[in-house]
Amino acid sequence: MAQPKDIALSTQPDFATRMSVSTSPSAAFHSPPSSFSSKLPQRGLTKQLKPFNSKDIKILLLENVNQSGRNILTGQGYQVEALKTSLPEDQLIEKIKDVQVIGIRSKTKLTEKVLREAKNLLVIGCFCIGTNQVDLEYAAKHGIAVFNSPFANSRSVAELVIGEIISLARQLGDRSNEMHQGTWNKVSAKCWEIRGKTLGIVGYGHIGSQLSVLAEAMGMTVIYYDVVTLMGLGTARQVPTLEALLTEADFVTLHVPELPETKNMISTAQLEKMKEGSYLINASRGTVVDIQALINAMRSGKIAGAALDVYPNEPSANGDYFNRQLNQWGEDLRSVKNIILTPHIGGSTEEAQRAIGVEVSDALVRYINQGVTLGSVNLPEVNLRSLTLDEPNYARVIYVHHNVPGVLRKVNEIFGNHNVDKQISDSRGDVAYLMADVSDVNLGDMKELFDALEALSSKIMVRVLY
């Protein structure tokens, strides 16, 4: 069987650059057991092609993305620049002009102002759970896919919260600080076991549900509140309102996204509804808790302890930056007793960062090389079965377009003189995503298809992969 060959593009470099890159899915083919494999129909092996012009794909990774992710991307032959910190906006704007891919964590803000300068950008990788640092709507309207890692650090965050629950219940932070200052203060007053206590989880997603299992294993009763009805794990019980949770729980932990609806969802009124001497933990987003209201509730004794891993404004780099200039209540917060303050480290474990690096980088490679949008948070999720070694002269055409009537008719008219082996289209709001594999095409055919799609008024982005 003839091996597939890259199509030389040296005669038309401008077209090659505009058309981007391609390959087909690289998942390994596993044969069934020999006892029955001969009875099953066999497809050709998946193409193991590298993108022809992979060196033209420039990737900028910020905020010390884990080496596991960097290895995957460099292994594809892409040009990868990795920095340990985020960048000031002016430097970010200058850097982003030349890259097709940018990878960030939580500190880098990809606003409309920044993205307007990203003329070559194809895809954004958020090496974290949250995507609120990216203008998702602007990215979608310009055909820029955004991927994140919604699962990989769930366990790390859940374990941190369990540790904080125990630490708050035993006032470990205060005792440790006292010992560091040479003070021996052995007390048991208002120190508790967590066994038999009630944990209230606000947001029963990937983290909340894992936390639920860990807490029950330690003898806690678990209740949870979520905006959708979800089946509880173990004996965990869903309550109908946030108020019901606050009045019943000894410990309240927050695991919700940053939305207009969640801003200051825990403020003075909610803190007043909590049990006397209860505890609050926030490892979700900094805007979810009204910090000044929390300070007041702790000083009055209403709240016996709190743990915060996130804040409304966070420094963009490590150093002595968590001060009054950043957040005006900073000194007051540090003066409160039995409060654990950590610098957004919920997902900062070796295991979580390795897993995030692999998960996001794999998604980036699939999108760059194959056009697959599975897992995208802002574009329709579209996939096609892989091409095989038996299909050497195929092009995968990707057409991101405005979701308006008549587009598919015009696209299929363009495809009319070619054999479309398979095609799929889906929409999400005002943006639609179409993929089609066209057989028996040469470089001239691909250029013709590309130019014809580019000329349509509905066009957002066109890519031809081969």
In DSSP terms, 251 is beta-bridged to 199, 279
Residue type, 8: A
The two structure tokens encoding residue 244 = 């019901």
Contact 191, 166 (CB under 8 A): no
Q: Which of 155, 175, 206, 285 is catalytic?
A: 285
Please say if 195 is a catalytic residue: no
Classify each residue of 50-67 as buried b or exposed e, where b means 16 or more C-beta atoms within 10 Å of its C-beta: ebbbbebbbbbbbbebbe
The two structure tokens encoding residue 268 = 């003075």
Q: Rounded to 5 degrees, what angle do the CA atoms 195, 198, 202 make? A: 135
Q: Which of 142, 344, 401, 463 is catalytic?
A: 344
135 φ, ψ (degrees, to nearest 5): -75, 90
Please say if 314 is a catalytic residue: yes
Task: Enumerate the H helices of 283-349 as residue ranges.
Answer: 291-299, 330-335
Contact 91, 380 (CB under 8 A): no
Contact 224, 248 (CB under 8 A): no
Quote helix, strand, coil % in the chain, to nearest 5.
35, 20, 45
The two structure tokens encoding residue 445 = 């055919």
Please say if 299 is a catalytic residue: no
Catalytic positions: 285, 314, 344
